[in-house]
């Protein structure tokens, strides 16, 4: 395995954890995992650099929305990738997110259980909605801090999804009455710093294919830091 220090500095700084079987990177907000029709940058362009002498390109073991920053796990061997996929499918990966929301939920902690389904219209495109016929979706939440501002209260939430549905945290926060700051799709205006949602931490158990347990944390992106600081982060 080549030394990660051989990478460009901006990319080496994105590696939160690395071992022969896998790596955890800090994905920036706005970077999609897959190439799009517009030809805009995507994670796929980073993978040859992140190969670092391995036989195969590293591959994401789970999904992270384009607008979400933070911890993303990549498998570096086929056995490790298969084992990681199985961990995420079995919900054995412990994911922790931080969000800044507009408004604050009732109470200091709780669990929201709201099934989700995808809807689409020609005019508005697609989005997720809470519906009894949707797929099961559960998120545990707790308030870590708050701020009172002239434009309205902000809250700093810790979110622990027990399922991994598309846009789950965004829809669940909106269902709590406090949509995520910078989320125009589910209830707030666009924000210059974008969506204030961070995949803060990931914890994985030991497996024969991936080795010892892993715990990694992503820092708060500079663009989001002022809102987190106002809430006490």
Q: Rounded CA gap, 165 and 169, in Å?
A: 8
DSSP secondary structure letter of residue 221: P
Strands 154-161 vs 94-102: parallel, antiparallel or unpaired: antiparallel
Among this protein's residues, is 34 annotated catalytic? Answer: no
**In a 10 Å sphere around its CB, with 0-12 CB exposed, 13-18 middle and 19+ buried, how is residue 146 labelled?**
middle
**Other C-beta atoms lying within 10 Å of the C-beta of residue 13:** 13
Measured CA to CA, the distance from residue 72 to residue 63 in angstroms comes to 8
| CB-CB neighbours of 193 under 10 Å | 17
- Counting every residue written for the chain, the total comes to 233
Exactly one of 26, 65, 67, 183 is catalytic; name it: 65
Q: Cβ(157)–Cβ(145) under 8 Å? A: no
Strands (E), 164-219: 197-204, 214-217
By annotation, the residues acting in catalysis are: 65
């Amino acid at each position: 395995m080549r030394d990660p220090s051989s990478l460009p500095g901006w990319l080496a700084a994105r590696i939160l954890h690395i071992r022969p079987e896998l790596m955890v990177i800090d994905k920036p907000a706005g970077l999609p995992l897959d190439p799009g029709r517009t030809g805009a940058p995507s994670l796929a362009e980073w993978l040859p650099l992140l190969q670092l002498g391995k036989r195969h390109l590293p591959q994401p073991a789970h999904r992270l929305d384009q607008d979400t920053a933070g911890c993303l796990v990549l498998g570096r061997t086929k056995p490790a990738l298969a084992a990681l996929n199985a961990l995420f499918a079995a919900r054995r990966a412990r994911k922790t997110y931080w969000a800044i929301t507009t408004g604050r939920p009732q109470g200091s902690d709780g669990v929201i259980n709201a099934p989700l389904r995808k809807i689409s219209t020609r005019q508005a495109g697609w989005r997720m909605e809470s519906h009894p016929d949707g797929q099961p979706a559960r998120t545990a939440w707790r308030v870590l801090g708050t701020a009172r501002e002239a434009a309205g209260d902000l809250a700093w939430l810790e979110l622990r999804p027990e399922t991994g549905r598309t846009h789950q945290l965004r829809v669940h926060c909106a269902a709590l009455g406090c949509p995520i700051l910078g989320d125009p799709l589910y209830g707030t205006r666009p924000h210059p710093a974008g969506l204030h949602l961070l995949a803060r931490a990931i914890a994985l158990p030991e497996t024969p294919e991936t080795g010892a347990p892993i715990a990694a944390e992503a820092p708060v992106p500079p663009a989001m830091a002022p809102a987190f600081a106002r809430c006490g982060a």
